[in-house]
Amino acid sequence: MSLDDRAYELKLNKLMEEMEKLVYDNDLARRKMTPRVFNFQYEINEEQHDLEIDFYAIKMISDSSVSEFVSLVLEQIGEEFAVYNHNMFYDTVDIFVNEYFKMRHSIFLDYFRSKIHSGEEFETIMRYKIMILDRLLEQSAKPFYMCRKPCSDCNLKCVLESGHDIEM
């Protein structure tokens, strides 16, 4: 490894430390990154709904997991609908979570790429760090995905964390 490669890798390591903090702390991300609005459009009972939130409003702590997403959709369509249309409601929440994390993944990768100067001689190092960031973003999103397997007793979709270990 050349001296230039090593210097570039050290710079990327420092940036990766910053990225890890940003991935898990949306308040910090709000201060350091470009302001964003997340628009989510969905249809329920042939009625169009638009949900617009500050992109950084979702707390990235696994304790809250999907509940913040559920609360945001509940505020718009009401608890009664969710109770009587469990599967449809949680399908909508699942789409919301997936779209949010796709956008989040893209925003963080774009931010990372904007902070590095790439050249062909550093391509291998850069791709490796991007791969690590990809994994970090996937891991940060994992607690927010729902199981969604149908219950064997009632046929309602499971809303526990994906990969939970409770028998259904």
Mean pLDDT of the chain, nearest integer: 84
Averaged over successive runs of 10 residues, the pLDDT of the chain (168 residues) comes to 78 92 90 89 83 83 69 81 86 90 93 83 84 94 86 82 65
Residue 60 has a pLDDT of 73
Residue 134 has a pLDDT of 95
Residue 135 has a pLDDT of 95
Alpha carbon distance, N-terminus to C-terminus of the chain: 52
The answer to whether the beta carbons of residues 163 and 147 sit under 8 Å apart is yes
Beta pairing partners, 38? 53
Residue 165 has a pLDDT of 67
Residue 132 has a pLDDT of 95
Residue 64 has a pLDDT of 55
Beta strand 47-54 pairing with 37-44:
antiparallel
The answer to whether the beta carbons of residues 137 and 107 sit under 8 Å apart is no
Parse the chain into domains and list their residue ranges: 1-25+64-168
Residue 168 has a pLDDT of 46
